[in-house]
A = this chain, B = another copy of it.
Amino acid sequence: MTASTTVRLDVPRDDPFGIHNLPYGVYSLPGRDPRVGTRYGEHVVDLATLLGDEVFAGPSLNPFMAQGHDRWVQVRAAIAAALNGDVPRQAVHSAADVTLHLPFEVADYVDFYASEHHAANLGRLFRPDNPDPLMPNWKHLPVGYHGRSASVVVSGTDIIRPCGQRKGPNDPAPVFGPSVRLDIEAELGFVVGTGNTLGEPVAAGRAEQHLFGVVLFNDWSARDIQAWEYVPLGPNLGKSFASTVSPWVVPLLALTEAKVRTPVQEPEVLPYLALDEPWGLDIDLEVEWNGQVVSRPPYAAMYWSPAQMLAHLTVNGAPTRTGDLFASGTVSGPAKEQRGAFIELTWGGAEPVTVAGQQRTFLEDGDEVVLRATAPGAGGARIGFGEARGRVVAARQGREV
């Protein structure tokens, strides 16, 4: 190639989107169809063009993810090699010029509840008379429930305040209207690249073969709707209106340096949940509310690991598929400023926090929340996750189809 058709990309090795990260996403240019790209520094690099592989020419990561773990390893090496050399100029776009899309088609979505600090805080808030804030099953299995795949949206999508039923403990009857206790949950989401067949569980030690990558995940939650509806079958409308994911899927292959032991699991877990190697993740999250960082939840404090979540999800023979997404549940650490949901941070609204000079409890219309995270990468680099951003807009009433 001549100099005019190629370009050398000079990205510092410690850039959050440096050579040790190489996340996958789906981008588009104005008037063009979405395609798969990687983020490299401030560049978005088209992978079909870079690698000459048509699996990246479409609007979803699913076809590539379905090719399996060996291909993920090969392609990652090929991208790194290509980015270290002359890159076709037409493959390179400025991150500022592209629109980012939901990076994969979500198959089944499950939300876990894997932070002991979060579960215990909610237990203290909702069941103050119980001597143990955790439910009896909590340390024996990663508790989780299925949620709505259709309302998983990409960062930047406005969050319409949901309407629904709520009933306070002293209200004579439920009322209908916009949620008045709209909250966030700062989580990580894990993306299944290749699933398992019905009847064939994924052993915890084999999770690495199935898990493709990690996204930021904001499980927006209407606490008033949830509190009234959730007995006895769990959350539904209080959660199903929207969940925000970050546009860049960080490969699990980029997170080998982030692997740490989970906290000690005592009582000992059943054999199908036991792990020979560390599967905790030393990922530091950050919750920004109207421009101010209000919490820094440490993922390393999570009790249950994603490998255990996947083993549990499938131990009854349930199948998973390419594009399955399971989220961790709220990431909360032991300290108050490490709590990943406002219901915990403000202790059920009783202890407002100061946000940009105002005393605040739950979300108001116009509020914007941004999740960010970093993890240790190879050679002392930090791996960036980009952001999961959402702005709350006023409820729509009387608009029905």
Known: A135-B231, A176-B270. A150 touches B320 (CB 8 A): yes
Please choose the segment from A211-219, A282-290, A342-350, A393-401 that sits at the chain B interface, where 4 or more of its residues have CB less than 8 A away: A393-401
- Determine the chain B residues whose CB is within 8 A of the CB of A240 once the complex forms: 146, 313, 316, 318
Contact pick for A241, options B148, B225, B317, B320, CB 8 Å:
B317
- Across chains A and B, which 3 residue pairs bring their CB atoms closest together, nearest first? A234-B234, A162-B316, A203-B400
Grouping DSSP codes into helix (H, G, I), strand (E, B) and loop, the A interface class, with mixed when no group exceeds half, is: loop
Contact between A165 and B270, CB atoms less than 8 A apart = yes
CB 8 Å contact bits of A143-166 with B (1 = contact, 0 = none): 111111111010000001011110
Residue of chain B at shortest CB distance from A176: B270
- Determine the chain B residues whose CB is within 8 A of the CB of A208 once the complex forms: none
User: Can you list 11 A-B contacts (CB < 8 A)?
Assistant: A107-B150, A108-B150, A136-B167, A146-B146, A146-B147, A150-B319, A160-B317, A164-B316, A199-B399, A200-B401, A230-B234
Contact between B202 and A401, CB atoms less than 8 A apart = yes
Contact between A315 and B206, CB atoms less than 8 A apart = no
Give the distance to chain B from A139, nearest Cβ to Cβ, in Å: 10
- Chain A contacts with B in 85-113, Cβ cutoff 8 A: 107-108, 110, 113
Cα separation A206 to B241 with both chains bound (whole Å)? 20
CB 8 Å contact bits of A215-258 with B (1 = contact, 0 = none): 00000001001001111111111101110000000000000000
- Determine the chain B residues whose CB is within 8 A of the CB of A235 once the complex forms: 145, 233-234
Please choose the segment from A5-13, A47-55, A190-198, A373-381 that sits at the chain B interface, where 4 or more of its residues have CB less than 8 A away: A190-198
Cα separation A312 to B164 with both chains bound (whole Å)? 9
Residue of chain B at shortest CB distance from A316: B162
Q: How large is the interface on A (under 10, 10 to 19, 20 to 34, 35 or more residues)?
A: 35 or more
Cα separation A236 to B109 with both chains bound (whole Å)? 12
Contact pick for A315, options B136, B174, B237, B270, CB 8 Å:
B237
Contact pick for A145, options B140, B141, B145, B165, CB 8 Å:
B145
Residue of chain B at shortest CB distance from A241: B316
Cα separation A354 to B203 with both chains bound (whole Å)? 40
Give the distance to chain B from A261, nearest Cβ to Cβ, in Å: 23
Cα separation A167 to B396 with both chains bound (whole Å)? 45
Q: A113-B233, A150-B320, A241-B317 are in contact. List 11 more A-B contacts (CB 8 A).
A: A108-B149, A137-B231, A141-B174, A145-B146, A153-B198, A160-B317, A163-B201, A200-B401, A202-B400, A233-B234, A237-B318
Q: A interface vs B, CB < 8 Å?
A: 107-108, 110, 113, 135-137, 140-141, 143-151, 153, 160, 162-165, 167, 173-174, 176, 195-203, 206, 222, 225, 228-238, 240-242, 267, 270-272, 312-313, 315-321, 324, 396, 399-401
- Determine the chain B residues whose CB is within 8 A of the CB of A317 once the complex forms: 160, 162-163, 241-242, 396
Give the distance to chain B from A183, nearest Cβ to Cβ, in Å: 14
Contact between B242 and A198, CB atoms less than 8 A apart = yes
- Determine the chain B residues whose CB is within 8 A of the CB of A110 once the complex forms: 236
Cα separation A319 to B153 with both chains bound (whole Å)? 11
Known: A162-B317, A318-B237. A206 touches B267 (CB 8 A): no
